[in-house]
Structure 1
Amino acid sequence: MRLPSHGRYDYAPITRRPDYVWPNGTRLAVYIGLNLEHFAFGEGLGAELAPGGPQPDVLNFAWRDYGNRVGVWRLLDLFDALSLPATLLLNSSIYDYCPEIVAPFRSRGDEIAGHGRSNAERQSIMSEADERLLIAETTVAIRHNEGQQPAGWLSPWIAESAVTPDLLAEAGYSYTLNWCHDDQPGWMRTRGDGKLLSVPYPQELNDIPAIVARKIEAEAFADMIIDQFDEMRDQAVAQPLVMGIALHPYIVGQPFRLRQLRRALAHIAGVRDDIFLCRAGDIAAHAAAILPPA
């Protein structure tokens, strides 16, 4: 019996794939995906600290806005203190609302990846024309402000339509973070001649599913990061692997969570010479140069 399939990739067990190394002979690549998000007031989607009431939902809107006003600056200090690179997963409406939060990351040389216009909307329910427009408007805004085409994309809410990978390849994106099906990068099939690489993005080591959905405490989330890192370092002896950490300033930027996050990230930074501590785009560029075509 054959079930419906997406057709984007074939099954390939991780135990039977070509071997390679990351730069400097390392085996584990680690990156931080920092979600910088902006939400509509009084309408649309948004994570909830507490069950939302009728709109305008001031409690949850203000909780999310804390991330842009306070949390992101605390995380910036943490990344600077530990010399950690980052990939910003950026809602393009940030440029209109609070462009100040992008500037210091730009100065650090961090990567800016597309993350839609706003996390108040979901592209999977759009028509192909409307989704193409969403991707185009996001891309133009980033290119205008950063002076270059973004290489990577993460859909708001990880929401894809049946044609999202095709539209991303056609818009000039070289990698997507939408799929959490693997611990290694791999090629996605797209229509036409477009090439799109999937770079692993975490849905377990991600503060929204862990803290908001499953109500995991800050100390336990930090322990998850440390355990994931230590176990993947051991596993990477056999295969080159990718470990991502997905963070949102309105969640881990809260002081009591930040203190625990600092413990986890310091654990990783302490052995930086033994790993490829990088940006998601660095992983994509290295893998694209050595992986055989799909």
Structure 2
Amino acid sequence: MSLPTHGRYDYVPIRGRPVYDWPNGRRLAVYLALNLEHFAFGEGLGAELAPGGPHPDVLNFAWRDYGNRVGAWRMLDLLDALDLPAAALLNSAIYDHCPQLAAAHRARGDEIVGHGRTNSERQGVLEEAEERKLIAEATARITSAEGRPPAGWLGPWISQSRVTPDLLAEAGYTYLLDWCMDDQPIRFRTRGGGSILAVPYPQELNDIPMIVRRNLGGDAFADMIVDHFDEMLSQSTDGPLVMGIALHAYIVGQPHRLKHLRRALAHIARHRQSLWPTTPGAIAVHCLALPEGMVP
């Protein structure tokens, strides 16, 4: 039986793939993805702490805004204390709403990843011309502020149309983060015969689906991070793996959850000699420099 498919990549089981190393002979790459998001007041999409009423939904708008005003700054302190790099997955609206936050990540040398204009909208429902415009506007704003274009993209709400990988490749992006189907980077086919790299992005180690949707406590989420890391570090003796952790400041930046996140990240930091603490962009650069055929 033949089912409709995307045609972007083939089925290649992880067992039997070519083996390569990350820098310094490491086999486990770990990156932290901090989603910096801004939302429209009185309209559009947004995660909900509690079921929202009619717009303007003050309760949930203010809860999300706490992340940019308070939680993100506490998380920056935590990253500095543990000397960990991060990738800021950034709505371009952040530059208008809270430019100091973008500047703080720039000062740390963190990677800035394109994350649409705002998480009040999805790109996957747009017509191709409108989606191309969304990507172009977000890219131009980041390029203007950072002095260089972003190399990677995560769609707001992990939203893609059937042509999103093509549009991203045509806009100059070298990797995307929306797909969670593997523990290694995978090459995606794009129209015209080119390709774009898919770097693994988590839906399990992601505080929105785990904490907001499944009502997991901060302590249990931290335990997941520790258990996931310990198991992947063991598995990585067989070949290179990528472990991403997706975080939102309005969720894990809350004090009662930040306490547990600190415990989990400190556990990872204590093993830094056995892993590659990195960013998704650095992972993509490394993979794209490998000999042809090493990356499926």
TM interval, short-chain normalised:
over 0.9
| Residue matched to 1:232 | 232
Q: What is the distance in 1 between the residues matched to 2:90 and 2:13?
A: 33
Correspondence 1:1-294 to 2 at 5 A = 1-290=1-290, 292=292
Query: Residue 292 of structure 1: CA displacement?
Result: 2.4
In the alignment, structure 1 segments of 5+ residues that lack a partner are none
Does structure 2 conserve the Cα–Cα contact (< 8 Å) formed by 1:29 and 1:243?
yes
**1:5–1:291: structure 2 CA closer, same or farther, 3 Å change rule?**
farther
How large is the RMSD of aligned CA atoms in angstroms?
Answer: 0.8
SS across alignment from 1:237: helix
Runs of at least 4 residues of structure 1 off by over 6 A?
none
SS across alignment from 1:244: strand
Does structure 2 conserve the Cα–Cα contact (< 8 Å) formed by 1:116 and 1:134?
yes
**1:3–1:291: structure 2 CA closer, same or farther, 3 Å change rule?**
farther
Give CA-to-partner distance per residue, 1:216-275, whole Å, 9 cap, x none: 000000000000000000100112100000000000000000000000000000011110
Q: What is the distance in 1 between the residues matched to 2:279 and 2:257?
A: 23
SS across alignment from 1:81: helix
Does structure 2 conserve the Cα–Cα contact (< 8 Å) formed by 1:170 and 1:194?
no
In the alignment, structure 2 segments of 5+ residues that lack a partner are none
Give CA-to-partner distance per residue, 1:38-80, whole Å, 9 cap, x none: 0000000000000000110000000000000000000000000
When the two structures are superposed, what TM-score results if normalisation uses the length of structure 2? Answer: 0.98
Give CA-to-partner distance per residue, 1:182-221, whole Å, 9 cap, x none: 0000100001143310000000000000000000000000
Give CA-to-partner distance per residue, 1:125-166, whole Å, 9 cap, x none: 100000000000000000000000100000000010000000
Query: Residue 31 of structure 1: CA displacement?
Result: 0.1
Paired residue type of 1:147: G
Paired residue type of 1:45: L
Give CA-to-partner distance per residue, 1:2-34, whole Å, 9 cap, x none: 100000000000002110000000000000000
**1:291–1:157: structure 2 CA closer, same or farther, 3 Å change rule?**
farther
Paired residue type of 1:149: P
Does structure 2 conserve the Cα–Cα contact (< 8 Å) formed by 1:26 and 1:275?
yes
Q: What is the distance in 1 between the residues matched to 2:252 and 2:156?
A: 19
When the two structures are superposed, what TM-score results if normalisation uses the length of structure 1? Answer: 0.99
Q: What is the distance in 2 between the residues matched to 1:100 and 1:26?
A: 35
SS across alignment from 1:196: strand
Q: What is the distance in 2 between the residues matched to 1:80 and 1:198?
A: 28
SS across alignment from 2:238: coil
Paired residue type of 2:219: E
Paired residue type of 1:153: W
Paired residue type of 1:81: A
